[in-house]
Amino acid sequence: MLSEKLALLQAIFVSISMILPIISQGATLEISKEEYVYQMELTQNVSVETFVISHVAKQKASLEEGPFFERSSASSFARFTKPIIVYFQIDNPVISSLEFQKIRSGLLTQNISRKTPLVVTGYTCQKGPARFNEWLSIERAKAVGAVLRKEGYTVARVEGRGAANLVSKNYYPINRRVEITALDQ
């Protein structure tokens, strides 16, 4: 516990020492609290709240328009660098709050436009009857599709593939997933 507090204090000290030169130049800064989801493949995702220090004027001006949000004229849709993967508990189509945050984080991190047509594909592990797995994979995909639509994203297709395309034959939990990709990928 003490080592965690010392590490936190050290991180705060380093962060503050990095922005002192900016403050001395008279910049207006804003400190806001945001949730950040650490994503680690094949391990547990850890979600923590963190503080973000940013330029107030520049950030607020760029929210509506500006070079930060402009896309190249070659393509009006952002490209996924990798699929966004949402994991589920066994025999369950309900999205956990952690996985919900992972969806948001993945879309924002990859700068995916709400106009990008998305494909939502559900999968299951190989446990259970094939017919049930087909149904469950579709229900999982529908749940993720509903979240995306509620957030204002364009869902072009929702599909379930049951126990097809297993990521691992030995470690079942990573097969219980939904993958979000762009339509043309």
- Res 60: pLDDT: 42
Q: What is the mean pLDDT of each run of 10 residues along the chain (185 residues)?
A: 71 65 58 63 56 51 40 48 90 92 90 92 94 95 95 94 90 92 78
- Res 152: pLDDT: 94
Minimal CA–CA distance to 144: which of 183, 113, 174, 99?
A: 99
- Res 20: pLDDT: 60
Model's pTM, two decimal places? Answer: 0.58
- Res 72: pLDDT: 39
What torsion do the CA atoms of 7, 13, 17, 18 make, to the nearest 10 degrees?
A: 40
Alpha-carbon distances of 76 from 85, 115, 119, 143, 152, rounded to whole Å: 23, 9, 17, 27, 17
Structural domains of the chain in order of their starting residue, each with its CATH number: 2-62 (no CATH), 84-182 (3.30.1330.60)
- Res 63: pLDDT: 41
